[in-house]
Structure 1
Amino acid sequence: MASLLSSAIASLAILPGIAHADVSVLYPASTLKTDAPFTITLLLDNPDKEAATITVPEQLHANISNADFPQLPITLLRADHSTGAIEVKPGGFRKVAYLARLPPNLRGTIRVQLTGFDTAPVLIALDSAANKSPAADPSANGTETGPTPTAAPVSVAALAASQVASPGGQDAASTALLRGAEDRLSPYEPMYFAVGKNGDTTAKFQLSFKYRLGLPKDPTSRALLDNLYFSFTERSMWDLSADSHPFEDSSYMPSLFYYVPDTDVKASWFSKLGLESGLRHESNGKAGDESRSMNYAYVRPILHFGDPTKGEWTVAPKLYYYPVDNNNPDMHQYRGYVDLDVAYGTSDGWQLAGTLRKGTKADYGSAELQFTYPVAKVWAGAGGYFYADLFSGYGENLLDYNKHSNQVRVGYSITRQNW
C-alpha cells in the first residue's frame, strides 16, 4: 500500500481539537487496485520546540461519487486501534493511516471528498486489472524524524469485520450503494436546457438516463448479461416565439445495449478502451406526412487518451447499420453511417465535446459542439454546468432531418458527456 500513497500533500488543514500541530492529508495515488484497502494518511507535524501529545480520532469520514451514483458515505478506521494519543518530538512528524474497504461493485473513476477537513476533492481511478498484492504499512512511506509508530496496520479481514460492526461502516455503505447509486439508474447522454435566437427564439432540451439490467458480483465482469443496459432519451425543440409556444418536434429514443467502460484491452497509444453496442429506435411520435421513424444497430468503441484529472481526449466513432425497412429510406443520405464523437477536458473543469456526421451525398452532414463549465467554479456548492451549443448542418431534429440550419444556444446542463 505504501506504493499507492501520493508523495504530494493534498491540502493543509487543522484538525479540530488538536493543539500545537499542523495536519496534512495524504491521499492514495491517482490509480488504486480494486482489491486493496482505500487509505488516507494524516501527517502530524510538530513545529514547536517541545514534544507534543496529539489525540487523533478513531474514524475519518468521506463521501465518494462518480457517474453511476451521486454520493456514498464511507468510514475509514484508524490503523492503530490501541490508542489515539500520538507523541511527536520537537520539530518531528508522525503519520497515522486510516483504512476502508470500498464496496466491491465500484468501478471506474471515483471522486473522494474528505469531510471535516478543508481539502479539495480528488479523483481516483479503480484499476481492476492491477496485480493483487498484500497491503503494506502506509507509515513506512518516507522518513520520519519522530518515533516509529508501534501499531501494526489493520489486516483486510480485521478491517472488514470492524467495518461491519461499526455504525455507518462499509456494510451500511454497500447497502446504500445497492439501494441508491447501483439502484442501476444513472445518466446516459447529456441532459440540458438551452435557448437561442436565429430568426425565431427556440429552446432545445434533452433528458436521458440508462438502467443497468444486471448487477454482477464481480465488478470486472464483461459478460453480456452483466453489462446490459436499457436507456431512454428525449430531445425536444420548443418554439418560444409563437403565441402558444408550441413544441416543434420531439424525438424519443429507447435503446438496448451492451456497455463496458473499460474492456481491459491495453496499448501504448491509448489509456483506456471502452465499448458500447446495441439497438436503437428513434421516432417523433407523429403521424402522416410529419411522421419520422428509424431503427438501427450500432457499435461504438470509446478510446481515452491522457489523464481525466489533467486533460483527457475521448474519441468514440459510432458505426450504424440501417435495416432496409426503415420508414425514412433517405435518412442515411443526411446522417451517414458514422458519427464521430470527440471530447476534451478535465473531470472537474471545462469540457468541449463535438459530434461530426457526414452524409452519403456531397453537401449533407452536420457538426455540433457543446461547451460545459462547472457552475461550482463560480458558485460554490452549486451543481451542473454552464452550457453552450453550436449546431450547423442537416437534421437537428427528426422532423427537419432534410433541412439545413445554423443555431447557437446557451443554457444549463445537469450532466455532460461522460463515457
Structure 2
Amino acid sequence: MKKLLFSCIITSIAFCFQNLYSQGITEKMVDSLIKEAPAFSIHKDNFFISGVPLNEEITKSTADAKYQISFKQLMTRNTLPWDTYLFLTYTQKAFWNIYENSSPFQEINFNPSIGFGKPVYNKNNRLVGLASLMLEHESNGRDSIFSRSWNSVNLEYSFMLNPKLKLTTEAWLPFSYKTGNPDLLDYIGLAEANLEYDIIPKKFMAELMLRKGLEWNWKGAYRARIFYRPFKMSNQYFMLEWFNGYSESLVNYTEHVNMIRVGYVIKTNELDILKQ
C-alpha cells in the first residue's frame, strides 16, 4: 500500500503542476507535427563520457567510460483510440573499464520497451503535456550470481513549468524482479523526477535527476548534467555529468557510486514539442 501510494502522489503532483504554465500549441498543430515526424528517431540521449570517482582513489580500475545508445520507432501515428500512438524503444547503456588492460566491460544494460503515447491538452485545446504508458524490461545479460533483471509498467508525464523549465516524472509498477535483486526497490524506489532548465536555449542547459529508494534512509540517487552546444544547427553537445548514489548500473546496484564524467552527447529532441 505504501508503494502504491507513493507512485500515486508523484503522478498527482505532476498533473497539478502542469496547470502553472500552459501556453502550448494547438491540437491541430500537434497532429500535423506527429504526422510529419520521422518514424525512427532518438529516444534518450546518446552519449560517450569518461571520468573518475570522487569518493575513492583514482586508478585504472576506478576510472571508466560510460556510453548509451537509444532509439525510438513509431509503429502508428495518432490513429489509435483516444488520440494515442504506439511506439517501440530500445536503450543500451554500457560501463566500460577502458583504462584497464584489455579494456573489459564491467556491464552492459539492455532496456527495450513498448508503449502508448498521448498528447495532453487543456480546455482550450492547447498542448500542456506528453504522457506515455510503457511495458519495460531491463537486464544486464549476465548469468549466475551476476544476473540482474526487472520488468515494469511505467507511467511518464512531461510538461513545462515555465518557458525554460521542463519537468518529467516517471512512476513504475515493477514485477518479476525478485530473482537476483530482491531488494532492488530499496535502492531505486518507485519513481523519479527529471528537471531540465534552458540557461541559454539551444546552447547551454542543465539537468537534474532525483530518485529515492523505498526505505527510510538516504539510499537513492541524484544526477546533475550540464550541456554546452558548440555548433549551430546541430543536436551535438559536450556534457559534464555528476552521478552520486545507488543503482547507476544493475550489477552493483547496492554499491554507492560518486562519479564525475565528461564527454560527447547527441541529444534527443523528443520533448521539444512542449517548448513551441
Bucket of the pairwise TM-score, normalised by the shorter protein:
0.7 to 0.9
Task: Please state which structure has a larger fraction of its residues in helix.
Answer: 2
Indicate the SS of the match to 2:145: helix
1:375 deviation in Å? 2.0
**Aligned residue identity for 2:260:** V
**CA 1:104–1:194 in 2, change beyond 3 Å: closer, same or farther?**
same
Matched, 1:223 2:83: yes
1:353 alignment partner in structure 2: 207
Q: Structure 2 counterpart of 1:279, which letter? A: L
- Within the candidate set 373, 390, 399, 2:251 is matched to 399
| Secondary structure, aligned partner of 2:141 | coil
Number of matched pairs: 238
Inter-CA distance 272–382: structure 2 relative to 1 (3 Å threshold): closer
Q: Deviations over 1:111-143 (max 9, x none)?
A: xxxxxxxxxxxxxxxxxxxxxxxxxxxxxxxxx
- Say if 1:303 and 1:230 are closer, same or farther in 2 by CA, change over 3 A: same
Q: Which runs of 5+ in 1 are unaligned?
A: 1-29, 37-102, 108-173
Distance 2:155 2:211 in 1: 15
| Change in 2 beyond 3 A, CA 1:211/1:271 | closer
In 1, distance between residues paired with 2:31 and 2:156? 27
Counterpart of 2:202, as a letter, is D
- From 280, 286, 307, the equivalent of 2:136 is 280
Report the Cα distance in structure 2 between the residues aligned to 1:229 and 1:337, rounded to whole angstroms: 23
The amino acid of 1:223's aligned partner reads D
| SS of residue matched to 1:396 | coil
Superposition map of 1:129-144 within 5 A: none
Q: How far did residue 416 of structure 1 move?
A: 4.4
Change (3 A) 1:332 1:223: same
Structure of greater Rg: 1
Alignment check: 8 A CA contact 1:295 1:326 kept? no
Percent identical across equivalent pairs?
24
Q: Once the 2 structures are TM-superposed, how far is the Cα of residue 326 of structure 1 from its aligned partner?
A: 3.7
Kindly indicate whether residue 49 of structure 2 is the aligned counterpart of residue 194 of structure 1: yes
Paired residues for 1:1-40 under 5 Å: none
CA distance 1:266–1:244, shift in 2 (3 Å): farther
Equivalent residue letter for 2:149: S
Deviation of 1:363 after TM superposition, in Å, equals 2.2
SS of corresponding position for 2:121: coil
Q: Which moved more, 1:316-325 or 1:194-203?
A: 316-325
Opposite residue 406 of structure 1, the aligned amino acid is N
Cα deviation code 1:41-98 (max 9, x no counterpart): xxxxxxxxxxxxxxxxxxxxxxxxxxxxxxxxxxxxxxxxxxxxxxxxxxxxxxxxxx
Mapped partners of 1:104, 1:297: distance in 2: 26
Q: 1: distance between equivalents of 2:140 and 2:52?
A: 23
The 5 Å alignment of 1:352-371 reads 352-361=206-215, 362-371=217-226
Rounded to whole Å, the distance in 1 between the matches of 2:156 and 2:233 is 35
Residues 191-246 of structure 1, C-alpha deviations (whole Å, 9 max, x = no match): 1111102223211110101111113469xx8434xx11100000000112210111
Tell me which amino acid in the other structure corresponds to 2:101.
D
The residue that corresponds to 1:323 in the other structure is 175
The TM-score with structure 2 as length reference comes to: 0.77
2:33 aligns to what? 106
1:313 is aligned, of 165, 182, 193, to 165
The Cα shift of 1:259 comes to 1.5
TM-score (norm 1): 0.52
